[in-house]
Every structure is written in structure tokens, then in C-alpha cells.
Amino acid sequence: MVTNLSAGVDAFTSNAFLVPGERTVLVDTGANFDVVSGIRQRPERLDAVVVTHPHPDHVGNLDAVKQAFGVDAWGFDASNDGVDHELDDGETVTLGDHEYEALHTPGHEPHHLCFYSADAGVLFSADLIFQNGSFGRTDLPGGDRRTLRESIERVRDTVDDDLHAMHPGHGPSVTEDAYADVELAARTAQF
């Protein structure tokens, strides 16, 4: 079961999702809280970190996690601090017990990735799509509204309409009719 280790944290952070299984992976490390202790409270051994994008709220704890567990981090661009291995658009990576496709989804940030598994019916949407059709901001360096809209449309066209769960970079996960939130984001991003 996917666990958000930043749930209940009263600090500026992103969600930090621990995906247990054959290859236990942390999707983003969050920032400004002790995620290392949260990982140590779990019985699983951490095998890797994937970085959705290099904004400080998503990678603030990256060095601490890598140092504490001796793991490498995967992300879109290895020139970003802390990213050891690059994931190309369309490349697959094991998160837990399932293969996920890395989808390059710029617009919020040029190196932004989402991760989707058709078999698991799960999307890690990071800062592209949130609950209730909300979507990522484009007023930060590297942000671009048109590109963001195209990325949302790409995700909408990639995921199945029986999407079981969507885990965004901020806010609650969507575990009922998640595809409706993806569709709503695609519609509302048009305006």
C-alpha cells in the first residue's frame, strides 16, 4: 500500500510517497521534515528514490535520504543536484511490484515527470494534476501554460479511464474515479 510519509506534516513540503514491494521506492522526498525517521519506522528496506522534478519542496530531503539509506535517485536530468540516473520519456521503472512508465510532462517545470502503471491503475501526477481537476502553477522559472496544457492532455490520453488511484505532489490522493479528475484538469487548463 502506498503511504504518504508527509501526511500530517505542518511544513512547506511536497507529498513523499513510499511504494513498498519487490523494489521499495520513495517518490519524492519532501522537505522541511524528518522523512528518514518515517522510512525507518517501516519494515521495508528502501531501494531507490525517484524525483518527479527538482523543486526544493520535492527534493529538500533528498541528500538526507540518500545518505541514510545508501540509495540512488532517478529523475529526468542527472545535472539536477542529487539525481544519479536519468529516466528518459517512455522508459519504465519498477515502483513497488509494478512497472511504471516515466512520462516527461513539462509545463510546471522543464524536468517534470509523472509515473503511470496501467497494470496497477496508478498515476503519480506530481505537480501536473491535483484533486478536483486542479493543475500545477506556471509562474515559476521554467513554467509555461501552453506546455502544461499539452502535458495534461498527454496524460489524459495515456491513462486508462479505469484509473484506480492518482497520487499528486500536494494534497490528498484520489482513490475514486481518478480519471474524472484528469479529464477535468484537461478541460479547465484550456481557459
Q: What is the mean pLDDT of each run of 10 residues along the chain (191 residues)?
A: 96 97 98 97 95 98 98 97 97 98 98 98 98 96 97 97 96 97 95 82
pLDDT, position 13: 97
pLDDT, position 121: 97
Q: Tell whether 95 is covered by a domain.
A: no
153-157, long-range: CB within 8 Å, 24+ apart, which pairs?
A: 153/186, 154/103, 154/105, 155/103, 155/105, 155/114, 155/116, 155/123, 155/125, 155/128, 155/129, 155/182, 156/182, 156/183, 156/185, 156/186
pLDDT, position 133: 95
pLDDT, position 87: 98
Asked if residues 166 and 123 have their Cβ atoms less than 8 Å apart, the reply is yes
pLDDT, position 191: 82
Q: Residue 173 to residues 80, 88, 98, 141, 170: CA-CA distances in angstroms? A: 27, 25, 18, 26, 9
What is the identity of the amino acid at 10?
A: D
Q: Tell whether 98 is covered by a domain.
A: no
Q: Tell whether 166 is covered by a domain.
A: yes
pLDDT, position 190: 87
Instruction: Specify the CATH number for the domain of residue 113.
Output: 3.60.15.10
Q: Tell whether 97 is covered by a domain.
A: no
Q: Tell whether 93 is covered by a domain.
A: no
Asked if residues 90 and 76 have their Cβ atoms less than 8 Å apart, the reply is no
Q: Tell whether 125 is covered by a domain.
A: yes
In degrees and rounded to multiples of 5, residue 153 shows phi and psi of -65, -40
Q: For the chain, what is the radius of gyration of the CA atoms? A: 15
Q: Give the global pTM.
A: 0.97
Is the domain of 180 the same as that of 108?
Answer: yes
Nearest residue to 142 via CA among 91, 61, 70, 80: 80
Nearest residue to 164 via CA among 125, 128, 132, 119: 119
Is the domain of 55 the same as that of 112?
Answer: no
The count of domains in the chain is 2
Q: Largest Cα–Cα distance in the chain?
A: 46
Is the domain of 40 the same as that of 110?
Answer: no
Nearest residue to 191 via CA among 149, 154, 142, 162: 149
Q: Which of 59, 85, 111 represents a domain boundary (last residue)?
A: 85
Q: Tell whether 27 is covered by a domain.
A: yes
Alpha-carbon span 36 to 62, nearest angstrom: 10
